[in-house]
Amino acid sequence: MNETGNRNGRGGGASANAMWGGRFAVGPAEAMERINASIDFDRRLYREDVEASRAHAAMLVSQGIVSPEDGEAIRRGLDQVLQEIESGDFVFSAALEDIHMNVEARLAEIVGAPAGRLHTARSRNDQVATDFRLWLRGALDALDGQLRDLQAALIAQAEAEADTAMPGYTHLQAAQPVTFGHHMLAYVEMFGRDRGRLADCRARLNESPLGAAALAGTSFPIDRSMTAAALGFDRPMRNSLDAVSARDFALEFLAAGAILAVHLSRLAEELVVWCSQGFAFVRLSDAFTTGSSIMPQKKNPDAAELVRGKAGRVIGDLNALLVTMKGLPMAYGKDMQEDKEPVFDAVDTLGLCLLATTGMIADMTADRARLAAACEAGFLTATDLADWLVRAASLPFREAHHVTGQLVRLAEEKGCDLAELSLEEMIEVEPCITHDVFSVLTVARSVASRTSYGGTAPERVRAAAAEARERFL
């Protein structure tokens, strides 16, 4: 045996692992040790592992399974382990495979024999499921806070630009005028639904697997409700097989995270387009742009491009875990060790993208003059003309649509806007048109008229922004 591993295995892998080595005469091959170890990534669960172990130890004492003296020694030892990890003094060992064995081995070094009682009535199977749920619960809370910050930045822009008209697009073709504030509020709603999906995921994952043991429960008289309450779970999971097998909470997060990443990517794409010279609708400061190593005039929206690009990572994380889980029977398989890296990566990626996107939204300046000029092209008030024909001339909408199309073609041939056609030219196409038609052919009138619930009228935008501030912030 190695010098430091003769009792707890904290050294190399030459001898059988002291945590489970009674069945084995020699230690694993180097390749086996490397492929089996997860400590390089699951060390992130250290705080949750200590927290769950504290709760488990306290329950064992309460149920008379472990003596109060041993329970107190375990508690003190776990406190020291946590302090060592957080101070950077803890030495992690790949030979001990994972965070659970690393913590338990160090606990044994600190308190001796009582440490061996901590694993009574639990398995690494329910232990890791508990730790993972605790960690993801905290990550979901952090992401929700970041989404709230992004919504706050979008609402602030909506309030500032409630009266600013811009072209609205379908098929990336000019369609109807909207307000810039209305456009910002569309993303507020999208990110609000993202928050709802993350909250749903949190609610469903908030059940405790602890005490399910390896797969069948335990013969010890444990109190799973006590540990669940101590860890902030709503209840213990009802089936021990399900408790150690389920990773739908991770899949649900990744699915919600992939949708969030897509929403962030769509907003990033609009920022990239809007910053281009062809649009020039918004400006980003030096804080969220980069230059070129060869072209000194360039100012590239690289933060937005990276947010757009990183959506693929999160979508890939979801696919990776779906493929891992699709062929697994009950209950635990070592394949499930692959569950954490996609989740960790998605959480990290989404957190960074949210930080960058919130910064860009708060940083950007809408170019009101450029937006106004863009509204003069593309016959944006054509639908207003068709609606006027329905209201004022009592034409069926399909006929009004046809008449408006003829007038658009005429204006296009003349190289002018609809409002620049003469009344006589319009009457030649449709005799019932009167001079009153010109009252609906300005962009300002168009956006002001869209007062239906959810519409783009400035008064609606201001009311919607106030309501969104109340609802989300």
Active site residues: 171, 292
CA–CA separation, 156 vs 66, rounded Å?
Answer: 57
Structure tokens given for 175: 């369609």
Q: Where are the beta strands (DSSP E) in 112-204?
A: 165-170, 173-179
CA–CA separation, 127 vs 40, rounded Å?
Answer: 18
Q: Which residues, in sequence order, are CB contacts of 186 under 8 Å at separation 6+?
A: none
Residue with tokens 């709603």: 189
Number of other residues whose CB lies within 10 A of the CB of residue 348: 14
Residue with tokens 């061996």: 116
CA–CA separation, 205 vs 106, rounded Å?
Answer: 30
Alpha helix stretches (DSSP H) within 9-123: 30-36, 39-42, 46-62, 68-87, 99-111
The DSSP H or E segment spanning 14 is none
Residue 44 burial (C-beta neighbours within 10 Å; 0-12, 13-18, 19+):
middle
CA–CA separation, 291 vs 273, rounded Å?
Answer: 17
Number of other residues whose CB lies within 10 A of the CB of residue 456: 28
SS3 246: coil
**What sign for the dihedral angle of Cα 120, 121, 126, 131?**
negative
315 phi and psi, to 5 degrees? -60, -40
CA–CA separation, 352 vs 464, rounded Å?
Answer: 28
Residue 96 burial (C-beta neighbours within 10 Å; 0-12, 13-18, 19+):
buried
CA–CA separation, 283 vs 451, rounded Å?
Answer: 29
CA–CA separation, 241 vs 29, rounded Å?
Answer: 31
